[in-house]
């Protein structure tokens, strides 16, 4: 619940940004923050002392969208108490809902797509001084962050969007409708950014895209994801390169060779399976079957030692029978993912699957999700247990969430979280940790 404050400090420009959804949104917010700071705003985590409230939204699942609309409703009270506050909505939900947001919440002042970030001055001036609403949800013709300042949350690991949008039209997904077609960022822009980050002592580069394997398909120069990885691997100073997400249909042997060859690319691949049933995969328009998926996993494991594989999967897609779901359970048992992000299918009105018959009842979807999570928990427990006694290299990236004195956490190259007792000056360092205890989600160790 939002509680009304007694007073407001309005003399200064203060911006409150709340981000929903994936890492790409987090990175978009970092650019929005950078741009706002350039315009004279300071950033605040206290919504009540802000005079600009910005929600960077997601709409992949209906629940998040409901949550965002509910927050917008609560912000109405803040605006009623302080007429200086302006409210903007950007991101996927803004691009999906467009003017509907004004209809449902007339007190929203502006709506924009993340590619309008360089227009934030014009946008906020139109609202504040022109006393008008502003909406622009189009994507810019090219995807570039050139000349846009960025205020990153971490000083160790940097999100780097290499592409935006998606051409795949999985039948359940709204992303191609909200973010538009794939747009790759130019190779030289990405390379320059990574060089600057390396100079600023960033250790880990996390490359982002909805389907990084198709990077470069829309660029005139002959750019491929593998070539980009090789270029980045040669930049001095950085220690680790990660990327997400890989679509199985585009996962090439060339990429496997590149991961094997490039010493800075982490031993972790996130490869969403979505379902283990060929019937459901076809209805999802995923463009691969389970045989194809299993073969990629085999190739990856045969060629890269000690590789962690994680996945996304969904239960309750329309028409999913118990047999189809058992196929997913079987695939999970056979493949043994290190970790899985599991979701209940959510009906999105723009996506083709929303008109499919045989929507699975929510109770059944919840039951299947629980069964899948329990199975994965057992698998992750078994995999992590085997790591007890091993010495792993960890990039220390934060104080432990539980805020226990001297407890820090970091990640292994295989993307496992390791908690251990350490010191502040280890932040950003690669250290060796001996694993003494494990849980399905976390490893606990002692600094060597
Ligand atoms: N581009 C990535 C890919 O194809 O794997 C994933 C991006 S999507 C935003 C992240 C995950 O959300 C998907 O892998 C999928 O499991 C899940 N997802 C997408 N649409 C969904 C829906 N309508 N209901 C439930 N989960 C969904
Ligand atoms: Fe959505 Fe499929 Fe594109 Fe991923 S690949 S963003 S799931 S349409």
* Model confidence pLDDT, tens digit, residues 253-296: 999 999 999 999 999 999 999 999 999 999 999 999 999 999 99
402 pLDDT tier (thresholds 50, 70, 90): confident
Local structure of residue 297 (DSSP, 8 states): H
**Shortest-distance atom of ligand 2 to CA 286:** 2
d(C-alpha 314, C-alpha 328), whole Å: 9
Compute the average pLDDT of residues 71-89: 94
d(C-alpha 70, C-alpha 91), whole Å: 17
Quick one: 196 exposed, middle or buried, by C-beta within 10 A (0-12, 13-18, 19+)?
A: exposed
**Shortest-distance atom of ligand 1 to CA 351:** 23
What's the pLDDT at 6?
A: 40
Q: Which residue's CA lies nearest to atom 25 of ligand 1?
A: 345
Local structure of residue 283 (DSSP, 8 states): H
Residues 293, 248 contacting (CB under 8 angstroms): yes
d(C-alpha 351, C-alpha 177), whole Å: 8
Task: Give me ligand 2 centre to Cα 55, in Å.
Answer: 23
Q: Which residue's CA lies nearest to atom 4 of ligand 1?
A: 247
Q: What is the pLDDT of residues 310-360, one digit of tens each?
A: 999 999 999 999 999 999 999 999 999 999 999 999 999 889 999 998 899
Compute the average pLDDT of residues 152-163: 96
Regarding the beta carbon of 247 and ligand 1, being less than 6 Å apart is answered yes
Q: Which residue's CA lies nearest to atom 2 of ligand 2?
A: 170
What's the pLDDT at 132?
A: 87
* 446 pLDDT higher than 80: yes
88 beta partners: 54, 110
What's the pLDDT at 211?
A: 95
Question: Which three-class secondary structure state does DSSP give residue 76?
Answer: helix
Task: Give me ligand 1 centre to Cα 51, in Å.
Answer: 34
What's the pLDDT at 404?
A: 75
Quick one: 405 exposed, middle or buried, by C-beta within 10 A (0-12, 13-18, 19+)?
A: exposed
Percent of the chain with pLDDT strictly greater than 90: 90
Task: Give me ligand 1 centre to Cα 425, in Å.
Answer: 38
Regarding the beta carbon of 210 and ligand 1, being less than 6 Å apart is answered yes
Q: How many residues does the chain have?
A: 448
Q: Which residue's CA lies nearest to atom 19 of ligand 1?
A: 173
What's the pLDDT at 8?
A: 43
User: Which ligand lies nearest to the CA atom of residue 350 in the structure?
Assistant: 1
Q: Which residue's CA lies nearest to atom 9 of ligand 1?
A: 60
Task: Give me ligand 1 centre to Cα 170, in Å.
Answer: 9
Q: Which residue's CA lies nearest to atom 6 of ligand 1?
A: 210
Local structure of residue 338 (DSSP, 8 states): S
What number of other Cβ atoms are within 10 A of residue 312's Cβ? 16
Regarding the beta carbon of 170 and ligand 2, being less than 6 Å apart is answered yes
What's the pLDDT at 11?
A: 55
∠ CA(307), CA(205), CA(40), 5° rounding?
150
**C-alpha neighbours within 13 Å on the C-beta side of residue 384:** 24
Regarding the beta carbon of 376 and ligand 2, being less than 6 Å apart is answered no
To test ligand 2's pocket by mutation, which of 59, 92, 168, 169 has the most ligand atoms within 8 angstroms of CB? 168
Task: Give me ligand 1 centre to Cα 321, in Å.
Answer: 20
> Does the model's pTM come out above 0.85?
yes
To test ligand 2's pocket by mutation, which of 61, 166, 271 has the most ligand atoms within 8 angstroms of CB? 166
Question: Which three-class secondary structure state does DSSP give residue 329?
Answer: helix
* 122 pLDDT higher than 50: yes
Quick one: 223 exposed, middle or buried, by C-beta within 10 A (0-12, 13-18, 19+)?
A: buried
Task: Give me ligand 2 centre to Cα 250, in Å.
Answer: 12
Least confident of 111-115, 148-152, 221-225, 226-230: 221-225
Nearest residue to 148 (alpha-carbon basis) of 57, 27, 242, 231: 27
Compute the average pLDDT of residues 43-50: 95
Least confident of 40-49, 89-98, 123-132, 328-337: 123-132
**Shortest-distance atom of ligand 1 to CA 170:** 4
Compute the average pLDDT of residues 145-172: 95
Regarding the beta carbon of 348 and ligand 1, being less than 6 Å apart is answered yes
Nearest residue to 440 (alpha-carbon basis) of 346, 339, 354: 339
Regarding the beta carbon of 187 and ligand 2, being less than 6 Å apart is answered no
Regarding the beta carbon of 316 and ligand 1, being less than 6 Å apart is answered no
């Amino acid at each position: 619940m939002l509680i009304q404050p007694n007073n407001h400090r309005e003399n200064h420009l203060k911006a409150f940004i709340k981000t929903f959804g994936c890492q790409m949104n987090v990175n978009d917010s970092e650019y929005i923050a950078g741009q706002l700071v350039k315009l004279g705003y300071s950033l605040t985590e206290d919504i009540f002392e802000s005079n600009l409230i910005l929600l960077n939204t997601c709409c992949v699942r209906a629940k998040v969208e409901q949550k965002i609309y509910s927050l917008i409703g609560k912000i109405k009270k803040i605006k009623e108490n302080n007429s200086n506050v302006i409210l903007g909505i950007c991101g996927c939900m803004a691009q999906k809902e467009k003017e509907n947001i004004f209809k449902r919440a007339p007190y929203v002042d502006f709506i924009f797509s993340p590619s309008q970030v360089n227009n934030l001055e014009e946008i906020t001036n139109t609202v504040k001084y022109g006393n008008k609403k502003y909406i622009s949800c189009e994507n810019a013709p090219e995807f570039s962050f050139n000349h846009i300042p960025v205020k990153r949350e971490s000083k160790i690991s940097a999100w780097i969007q290499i592409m935006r949008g998606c051409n795949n039209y999985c039948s359940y997904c709204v992303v191609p409708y909200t973010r538009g077609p794939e747009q790759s960022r130019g190779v030289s822009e990405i390379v320059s950014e990574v060089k600057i980050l390396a100079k600023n002592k960033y250790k880990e580069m996390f490359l982002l895209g909805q389907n990084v394997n198709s990077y470069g398909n829309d660029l005139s120069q002959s750019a491929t994801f593998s070539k980009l990885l090789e270029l980045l691997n040669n930049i001095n100073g950085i220690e680790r390169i990660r990327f997400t997400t890989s679509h199985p249909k585009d996962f090439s042997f060339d990429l496997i060779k590149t991961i094997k060859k490039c010493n800075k690319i982490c031993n972790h691949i996130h490869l969403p399976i979505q379902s283990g049933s060929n019937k459901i995969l076809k209805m999802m328009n995923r463009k691969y079957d389970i045989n194809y998926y299993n073969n990629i996993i085999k190739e990856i494991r045969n060629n890269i030692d000690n590789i962690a594989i994680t996945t996304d999967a969904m239960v309750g897609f329309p028409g999913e029978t118990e047999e189809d779901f058992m196929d997913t359970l079987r695939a999970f048992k056979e493949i043994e993912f290190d970790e899985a992000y599991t979701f209940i299918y959510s009906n999105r009105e723009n996506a083709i699957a929303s008109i499919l018959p045989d929507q699975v009842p929510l109770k059944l979807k919840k039951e299947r999700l629980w069964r899948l999570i329990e199975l994965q928990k057992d698998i992750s427990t078994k995999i992590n247990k085997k790591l007890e006694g091993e010495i792993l290299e960890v990039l220390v990236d934060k104080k432990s969430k539980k805020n226990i004195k001297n407890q820090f956490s970091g990640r292994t190259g295989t993307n496992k979280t390791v908690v251990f007792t350490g010191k502040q000056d280890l932040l950003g360092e690669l250290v060796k940790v001996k694993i003494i205890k494990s849980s399905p989600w976390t490893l606990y160790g002692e600094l060597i």
